[in-house]
Amino acid sequence: MLFNEKVKAVVDRFNTKFSADSSKFIFIIIEDAIYMVLLLISGFRVLNAPCCPSGENGQCVEDKTACQNRKEYVFSDEFHPTEAANQIIAITSYNASNINHLLHSTEFTGIPAIYTHSSSFSTSITCSLSPTSCTINFFNLTRDMQTSWLVLSVFLLAAINCMHGHGEPQVPCLFIFGDSQSDSGNNNDLPTSAKSNYKPYGIDFPEVPSGRFTNGRTAIDITSQLLGFEKFIPPYANIGGSDILKGVNYASGAAGIRIETGTHMGVDISLGLQLANHERIVSEIAIKLGGYEKAVKYLNKCLYYVNIGNNDYINNYFLPNLYPTSRIYSRERYAQVLIDQLSLHIQGLHDVGARKYIMVGAGLIGCTPNAIFTHNESSCVEEMNVAAFIFNDKLKALVDQFNTRFSSDSQFIFINSTFGALDSSLGFKVLDAPCCPSERNGQCVPNEVPCQNRKEYVFWDEFHTTEAANMIVAITSYNASNEAFTYPMDIQHLVDHSPLISSI
């Protein structure tokens, strides 16, 4: 980065010095965050390994067979990018002038059409580069701006030496709290119907179904890659042999803020129990680092991702035959009860060293295929979405409250997961039906064949989104300039925030 800044300064100096004789110098930066984002959405699957068998010098072993799926590899050998990656760099360098019109627009019409099949390319999709970063804000896409996802990916990738696969992640560790949107296997061995460790779940995920409630990666999986983690954060249920210093995923399918939420399906791990598990992990980290005080200083630097609350509506409040909450509380009062309980849990998390928080709001719970079907609606169920909006307003206010209260040492951000989540003008062709054949409980029928065009579906089963939709959420959460989506900053800026090192 220091070298690049000096090169850029030389370019400026030469453009001034030789301006009289029509000389022109330009600077091409290949370290921008945008390239990492584009890498992840453009079909590159292997970010930190070479395509060819490599020798001790890092170059290909002579006459050895290289990988067959070369377009999915960033690196050809241990140093050099593949032709596919080179193409990204070349095209982006050749035409990168006006992406600010797209990336910095304050208007929003929905999720970007990254996965459309239009063959036309809009020249407004280019990139304005800076020496340190490129803000990605995929807003204001209209029908005539839709492009093929493969072509768009060309403008979303280049900085090979910015890839964190060959370095340290942007934060030392990531701790994940939540429900089935983030669960990566914690429910696999629990006595519950809320589990997904069977096919076709994980059809696009490496190896076998892992317990993720989608076809591939979850939003937090992708976020962890954007943050530079080489491996996905392991589930608490399977941390044996894992490096807990990198983080732990405590999320549990069907879980909620309230302890009874989702229990009609069996056992789940509520937020309170997830925090109890985290306290045990903190104790283990203290042992590893040689003391509690050292552990706290280390944990101050980590990210804490909290994505929970949807089930407190879907699998509690809006199931009046099973739970009494809708008879006890108005929607307004229930949201406040949830926020009050969440606030206590977050304060407990703060007590054991958490300082950088990502608080994810409720989604458009009334627009899931299950909600539409069970309420006999032809479109989204308004009362469910209104409840989510009330919760989100209060969660955003809680973020403000905590940022004021803990301003000396902490930072909280709010992710609005309802913002422009569904729009018929986007590249997603199917917005209200699941990709996989579903059972009565809304989950995929075991071993049934899912849809082939998964990148065109928003929903994987009747509740959970596809990897394609998760990709959009992750990218815009990581790097977005519009506060209607991430407030008061995005994840990338949260990473850069430097709270005072505190003791507890």
State yes or no: is 464 an active-site residue.
yes
- Catalytic annotation, pick one of 278, 345, 464, 493: 464
Q: Residue 52 region, left (φ>0) first, then alpha (ψ -120 to 50), else beta?
A: beta
State yes or no: is 221 an active-site residue.
no
Nearest to 364 by CA among 302, 314, 296: 314
Is residue 158 classed as helix, strand or coil in its secondary structure?
coil
Alpha carbons 454 and 205: distance in angstroms, whole number: 13
Q: Write the DSSP assignment of 377-437 as a string of letters.
A: -SS--HHHHHHHHHHHHHHHHHHHHHHHHTTTT-EEEEE-TTTT---TTSS--EEEEESS-
Measured distance between the N- and C-terminal CA atoms of the chain, rounded to whole angstroms? 35
Residue 245 CA to its chain's centroid (Å): 20
Nearest to 270 by CA among 369, 278, 367: 278
State yes or no: is 461 an active-site residue.
yes
Q: Which two tokens stand for residue 421?
A: 């989540």
- Catalytic annotation, pick one of 183, 461, 477, 493: 461
Alpha carbons 268 and 315: distance in angstroms, whole number: 12
- Catalytic annotation, pick one of 54, 180, 224, 252: 180
Q: Specify the length of the chain in residues.
A: 504
Residues with catalytic function: 180, 461, 464
